[in-house]
Every structure is written in C-alpha cells, then in structure tokens.
Amino acid sequence: MHILLSLLLSSALASAQDKVPVPPTPPPPPPEDSFFKTLVKQFSIGGQVRFRAEYRDPTSYSNNPAFFGYKSDDAILTRIRLNLKFSLTDDIDVFVQPQDQRAWGQEANILTDERNLDLHQGFVEVRNLFSEPLSIKAGRFEMAYGDQRLVSPLDWSNVARAWDGAKVRYGTKDFWIEGFYTVIRDPLTPSPPAPPVFSPAPTAFNGAAEDQDFMGVYFSYVGIAQHEFDLYAFFREFQDNSFAADGGAATGDLIDRTLGARIKGKDFGFEYTLEGMGQGGHFSSDRIAAYAYAATLAYQFDMDWKPRIGLEYAVASGDRKVADGKRNTFDPLFPFFHYYQGYADIFGFKNSKSASAYLKVAPSENVSLHADFFAFWLAQTGDAWYNDPGVAIRPRAPGTGASRKVGTEIDLHAKVNVGKYVKFWGGWSHFFAGEFVRKTATIGETNDMNWFFLQMTVDF
C-alpha cells in the first residue's frame, strides 16, 4: 500500500513540474574581441563645465554713436565641453571635442534654440611615422606657440579659437620644429551667371577669390635645461578684397609675414623672456613695415606664501603718417589678449607701449592672490587707440595735441581650487582714464572703468 501511494505521489509531482514554464537558455556572452575593442585600443572621456559672470561700467570708450548711452552692462556666460579620445594604436589617436557656448538670455525667448553646439576640436594624430619622431595632426585643432603673444587658442573666450588644417612636427630631445597650414575662411566660389538666351557671347563674370589662409613654421631649441630658444615665421593670405588702404577708397587683400625670435630661461631664481617680431607685406596698396618686442623679468622668493614679483615692458609699433603708402601698425595675429595688457581688455598689443608689474602670493596650496599694475601709452598719436581684441576704440587724432597717455589699470584677483575638479576665479579691475581719453572724447566716456568677474570651472 505504501509503495502504491509513493508511486502515485511521484507521478503527480512529475506532472506538476511539466506544467511549470522553463526559463529560456540565456544567450552566450559576447566574445571578448568585439568590433569596438578590435578597432579601439583605449577610450577615454572627460570634459569641462564653465560659468562666468561679468559686469562692466562704462561699457566702452568709443566715440561711435552706436555705443553711446550704454552706461553699464553685465553678462553670464556658459561653456560646456565633452572630450572623447579614441586610441586606435599606440601611435594613432582620434580626438573629438564638441562644445556648447552661450550667454544667458541671448535667445529671443525660452522656446528658441540658436544651436550654439559646435565642434571645437576634431582631429586625427599619427605619431612616430617611419620610426622617426615625426607626427602629423589633421582636422580642427587648437594651436599655441611660445608665450602665445601671436598664436593662442584664447581659452578665456567663451568660444576659444581652433583652426582647420594640418600640421607636421619633428621633435628630438634637444629641439623640435613644427609647420602648419590652416584655412581661416574658404567660401564657395559663386558660379558665373548663365548668358542670356539670345546673347551671342557670354556675359562677363567678376567673381573674386575670398580665401583666408594662415600658415607658419616654428622652431624651438630646448637642449639647455630650463631654457628655450625659438625662431618662427607666420604667414597670412587674406584674399577677400576687404582691406582699405589709408586715405583711399579702394580695397585690396592682406598678405603679410611675421618673423620673430624668442628667448626664455630660468637662472638663480629669476625667470626672463625676450621676444622680438618684425612684420612686412602689404595691406591693400599700403606696404607693411611694423615691429614689436616684449621683455619680462620675474623672481619667486623661497619663503612662506611663495611671493612672486614680475615686470614687463612691451611695445607694438603704430602708424606714423596717414596716406603715405606705408602701414606701420603692428598686428598681433591671433594673440592671447586679456592676459598681457590687463583683464579689462581696454588696451591691446597694437600701436602701444605698456609697462606692467605683477605680484602673486599663495597662502595655501589651493589659493593664490594676485595684484597687477599696468601703465598704457600710444606708440603714435597719429594712429588709433586699439583695445585688446585689436578693434579701434578711437580713430586717429593727429594735430589735436593729445597726450599719448591712455591711462593706468590695477587688477586684483584670486584663484581658489576646491578639491581636484572645481576651481573658482574672481576679481576686480579698475581703469584710470588718462589725458588722451579726456582730450579725444566727443560723445564717448571719459570716466574711469570698473570691471568685475567671477568664474567657476568644473572638470571631469
């Protein structure tokens, strides 16, 4: 009897188990060598989020009526970058950096999108070509040479600079040399109009080239410890017929060359640089003959708070006479403005003389305090007063008896690092308007200027 009951119970349990759904067999794990892992040896991702608030009063010293009436202005700027690096091999990298930049409230309303997302950098870099220290980079990339007085990505800008082109670099232990070719602007050439149906001959077509190209060669000898000896040549060809000669209505092209040399070193606690630049070519029908130079000296004390003092003197030539067929105004190409002639951006490296003094102390590893002083003069009163982006604030003032003294500026700012990824930077700049500002004012400002900023950067 017990045997019979056991058999019946076993049969019932087997039947119940047959009705329980059996989970499907899981698929096999993907192979270790997937397509992505086969193509990319290493992948990294990072980025940056940056916020900056600015306030300026007055906004401009321009005598242009378009600026008159804007007593003060403020702005909040945002920049977001994403860094994607794909290492295909030990010697081949692909770098992609999309960037979104905007000023708060710049769009028409909160339902609009002006599509400020763009590709800031995107390039392929190949190194150790032919088993030599030779590399090639092609695509869209940032460039910086020397102290960035002539070529800089200008990271302070909410957009920042990047160039489309290619560059080749050869570097050894003692020296490196780099050559590049970039396209600033290359619009599509318009097609000639079709001739009239009944015309016996095609109509004339006067389409003009609008290419803007920038190229150069930079050599640096670094065979002596803590020293750099540089030689360089930069060339621009802006063939867009948009440059007007002095005193003439006709426009033409800009084709110039900038040759220079730079020495930078550190000895006995002192740091120094000396750089000289000459510029030639033609600006429309005017012949270019300009120059610039800069010298710096700094010393850092070996004591608490690590005080560092620095001095700088910089000159950029200006035009001597109007409509004499010569252009003596030095053009600093693509400089790191905002850094060398004061944070207020009121004075540029163009028809200028400036003397600067810097003081920096570091109360702790993550905090630094800065006090900078600047004095500004025009190199030639017969040339314009240019701001740091290189735009003429006030035109020439020959024969007015105006002083060359534009003014002085003091910058007080502090940097604080909160942990490894968060940085704060803020400060105040005050520009004391000089005699030139007061004597040449028509409807523009003559009072002093204040500028405040506070910036937060988050790296990840």
- Stated as kind and residue range, the H or E segment containing 430 is strand 422-433
For residue 192, pLDDT beyond 70: no
- Domain edges within the chain: 48-188+216-459
Structure tokens at 204: 């004339």
Q: What are phi and psi of 5, to 5 degrees?
A: -65, -40
For residue 217, pLDDT beyond 90: yes
- Average confidence score pLDDT of the chain: 87
pLDDT of residue 20: 47
Under the phi-then-psi rule, with left for phi > 0, alpha for psi from -120 to 50, and beta for the rest, what region is 419? left
For residue 71, pLDDT beyond 80: no
The answer to whether 369 and 360 have CB atoms below 8 angstroms apart is yes
Percent of the chain with pLDDT strictly greater than 70? 84
* Number of neighbours of residue 128 by Cβ within 10 angstroms: 13
Which is more confidently placed, 368 or 105?
Answer: 368
For residue 2, pLDDT beyond 90: no
Instruction: Kindly state the average pLDDT of the residues 154-170.
Output: 97
Structure tokens at 184: 């600033």
pLDDT digits (tens, 9 = 90+) for 12-66: 444 444 444 555 666 665 555 566 667 888 999 999 999 999 999 998 888 777 6
pLDDT of residue 93: 97
For the chain, how far is it from start to end, CA to CA, in angstroms? 76
Residue type, 348: G
Helix (H, G, I), strand (E, B), or coil: what is residue 194?
coil
pLDDT band at 198 (very low <50, low <70, confident <90, very high): very low
Instruction: Kindly state the average pLDDT of the residues 61-79.
Output: 80
pLDDT band at 206 (very low <50, low <70, confident <90, very high): very low
Instruction: Kindly state the average pLDDT of the residues 145-165.
Output: 97
Architecture of 48-188+216-459 per CATH?
Beta Barrel (2.40)
pLDDT of residue 210: 76
Query: Angle at CA 38, nearest 5°, toward 121 and 89?
Result: 50
**Cα–Cα distance measured from residue 68 to residue 74, given in angstroms and rounded to the nearest whole number:** 16
**Cα–Cα distance measured from residue 157 to residue 339, given in angstroms and rounded to the nearest whole number:** 11
Instruction: Kindly state the average pLDDT of the residues 430-451.
Output: 89
pLDDT of residue 401: 62
Least confident of 66-70, 184-188, 297-301, 404-408: 66-70
pLDDT band at 323 (very low <50, low <70, confident <90, very high): confident
pLDDT digits (tens, 9 = 90+) for 221-232: 999 999 999 999
pLDDT band at 107 (very low <50, low <70, confident <90, very high): confident
By residue count, the chain amounts to 460
**Cα–Cα distance measured from residue 342 to residue 156, given in angstroms and rounded to the nearest whole number:** 13
pLDDT of residue 5: 41
pLDDT of residue 215: 98
pLDDT of residue 12: 47
Structure tokens at 366: 């993550």
Give the count of alpha carbons within 13 A of 132, CB side only.
10
Helix (H, G, I), strand (E, B), or coil: what is residue 319?
coil
